[in-house]
Amino acid sequence: MWAPDSWRQKSALQQPDYADPAEVERVLADLHTLPPLVTSWEILRLRDQLAEAADGRQFVLQAGDCAERFVDCTPVRITNTLKVLLQMSLVLVIGARPVIRIGRFAGQYAKPRSANLETRDAVSLPSYRGDNINRPEFTAEARRPDPQLLLRGYERASVTLNFVRALVKGGFADLHHPEYFDLDWVKDSPLADEYHRMVQTIKDSLQFVENVLGVRAGDTDKIDFFTAHEALHLGYEAVQTRRVPRRPGYFNLLTHFPWVGLRTNDSEGAHIEYVRGIENPVGIKVGAGCTREQVARWLEILDPDRRPGRLTFIHRFGAGKIADSLPPLIEHVRAEGGKPVWICDPMHGNTHSLANGIKTRNFEDIYSEVEQSFDIHAEQKQQLGGVHVELTGENVTECVGGSRGPGEADLARAYESEVDPRLNYEQSMELAFLIARKMKSGAH
Ligand code: PEP
Ligand code: CO
Handedness of CA 51, 52, 55, 60 (dihedral sign): negative
Exposure on the CB side of residue 349, measured as CA atoms within 13 A: 28
pLDDT, mean of residues 407-421: 94
Specify the amino acid at residue 324.
D
pLDDT(221) > 90 = no
Whether 1 is covered by a domain: the verdict is no
Confidence of residue 218 (pLDDT cuts 50, 70, 90): low
Identify the CATH number of the domain in which residue 182 sits: 3.20.20.70
Confidence of residue 180 (pLDDT cuts 50, 70, 90): confident
Separation CA 411–CA 369 (nearest Å): 22
Find the 217 Cα to ligand 2 centroid distance in Å: 35
pLDDT(443) > 60 = no
pLDDT(213) > 90 = no
Output DSSP code: residue 214. Answer: T
Q: What is the pLDDT of residue 169?
A: 83
- Beta strands of 197-306 (E only): which ranges? 226-230, 241-244, 247-252, 257-260, 282-286
Separation CA 99–CA 88 (nearest Å): 10
Separation CA 252–CA 44 (nearest Å): 12
Find the 381 Cα to ligand 2 centroid distance in Å: 30
* pLDDT per residue as tens digits for the range 304-320: 999 999 999 999 999 99
Q: For residue 287, which atom of ligand 1 is closest to its CA? A: 9
Q: Taking the chain, what is the end-to-end CA distance rounded to the nearest angstrom?
A: 42
* pLDDT per residue as tens digits for the range 332-359: 999 999 999 999 999 999 999 999 999 9
Q: What is the pLDDT of residue 136?
A: 97
| Overall domain count for the chain | 1
H or E segment to which residue 151 belongs: helix 148-169
pLDDT(164) > 60 = yes
Q: What is the pLDDT of residue 204?
A: 82
Output DSSP code: residue 256. Answer: S
Whether 341 is covered by a domain: the verdict is yes
Contact 363, 428 (CB under 8 A): no
Ligand 1 neighbours (beta carbon < 6 A): 66, 112, 261-263, 285, 316, 348, 420
- Beta strands of 316-414 (E only): which ranges? 341-344, 351-353, 359-361, 386-390
- Tell me the best of 66, 109, 233 to mutate to test the pocket of ligand 1, counting ligand atoms within 8 Å of each CB and taking the most: 66
* pLDDT per residue as tens digits for the range 147-160: 999 999 999 999 99
Atom 9 of ligand 1, residue of closest alpha carbon: 262
Could you tell me what percent of the chain has a pLDDT over 90? 87
Give the largest CA-CA distance in the chain: 62
pLDDT, mean of residues 191-208: 86
Range of the domain at 273: 6-442
Atom 4 of ligand 1, residue of closest alpha carbon: 261
Confidence of residue 170 (pLDDT cuts 50, 70, 90): confident
Whether 354 is covered by a domain: the verdict is yes
pLDDT, mean of residues 358-381: 98
pLDDT(406) > 80 = yes
Contacts (Cβ under 8 Å, ≥6 apart) of 9: 273
pLDDT(444) > 80 = no
Find the 14 Cα to ligand 1 centroid distance in Å: 12
> Quick one: which ligand is closest to 264's CA?
1
> Quick one: which ligand is closest to 399's CA?
2
